[in-house]
A and B are shown apart, each in its own frame.
Chain A
Amino acid sequence: MTDISYQAQSYDNEASLGDYFALLKPRVMSLVVFTALVGLLAAPVSVHPVIAFASILFVAIGAGASGALNMWWDADIDAVMKRTAKRPIPAGKVTPDEAKVLGVALSGMSVMMLALSANLLAAGLLAFTIFFYAVVYSMWLKRLTPQNIVIGGAAGAFPPVIGWVVATGSMSVEAWLMFALIFMWTPPHFWALALFMKSDYEDAGVPMLTVTHGRKATRMHILVYTVLLVGLAVGTAFTAIGGPVYLTVAIVLNALFLKGAFDIWRRDEAAAEADGYRVEKAFFKLSLLYLFLHFVAILVEAMLPVSWGIWA
């Protein structure tokens, strides 16, 4: 006897190409591409456009690979947090193993290809960046210490250094200034997010500063880091990558950023709850513009054919 049975199977959750792309954190990748490109173009050595394009692409793929490894490792907490619950793994579209394999394969490919297209130092820095984000930040620090994003922020700060090294083959003070700009910007940016995302990090058991030290201390930390960042960002105007355009942009943005941080520090939770975290949300949005425009200004200075006064 032949038994023909039909099993209805749902394919609604089968991943599309876009789901695999989402594993690579495209928004983070766009920031990486932009800052690495600025690092490359701000360097005093010109690079063939094909080599520049290929190198930036491999840096972006490497950043995407570390994003996939982060999503594989953090799948459990991503499912709990509202902000990340729709990512491909918690949404059931991609399995954790697929994300891990994709992350490892793309990591190896991107580092090898960057070594071939640019140089070994750039490839080594990319390998270290992937290791730092996937292992030091995601696996080790994120669930251990409220300083997680302070130290982990270094991973996001490396791309302009890699871009610089692609062009010059060596590191210099200017490259590390761009690194420092992103490194010091990361904590106030994420702590502002943690303030208005309320219980997300607490529910997931991630020891963000808001959870371990309270919201008042977080507001104070935002102000202190912003003051340090302002000194660094304005001071960069008087280096080889700065100039009058950068100085003008930096003065305006840093005045606004400092005011935002001061407003956050000055108010308490009751006031923030009352207006739906308006000041914190505005500060977070400003922080995105802040970093973008600083790097645009560095790029403009690099593109300008002339130097003035003290910058000559």
Chain B
Amino acid sequence: MTIRAEHEIHQRRKGRNVGVGLMLAGFVVLILALTFVKITGGDFELPQIEEGQ
């Protein structure tokens, strides 16, 4: 028999972890969108590599 002690604190910690996870996922999506907008914008240029380097 397994011991299953489901305390209210487990729910609260789960809520905290899910919240942090969602925020991190949102941050990743935001960085992706920002990167896309920046590199498709008119003033974006790749750095030039000089000959001989």
Contacts and interface: CB of A to CB of B under 8 A. Distances in A.
B23 to A, nearest CB: 9
Contacts, number: 30
Interface stretch (A31-39, A46-54, A185-193, A194-202): A46-54
B16 A54 contact: no
Given A11-B12, A14-B13, 11 more contacts: A14-B12, A48-B41, A50-B34, A50-B37, A51-B34, A51-B38, A54-B30, A54-B33, A54-B34, A57-B30, A117-B34
Interface size class of A (residues with CB under 8 A): 10 to 19
The 10 closest A-B pairs by CB, nearest first: A17-B19, A11-B9, A50-B37, A17-B16, A50-B33, A16-B12, A48-B37, A54-B34, A117-B34, A54-B30
Prevailing SS type, chain A contact patch: helix
Prevailing SS type, chain B contact patch: helix
A116 B34 CA distance: 9
Interface in A1-40: 11, 14-17
Interface residues of B, number: 16
A94 to B, nearest CB: 12
7 contacts: A11-B9, A14-B9, A17-B15, A50-B33, A54-B33, A57-B30, A116-B34
Contact of B20 (A17, A48, A57, A116): A17
B4 interface: no
A82 B51 CA distance: 70
Nearest to B19: A17
Interface centre among A14, A17, A50 (most CB of B within 10 A): A17
Interface in A225-242: none
Contacts of B7: 11
Interface string A113-129: 00011000000000000
Contacts of B16: 15-17
A16 B7 CA distance: 14
B6 interface: no
Contacts of A57: 30
Given A16-B15, A16-B16, A11 B8 contact: yes
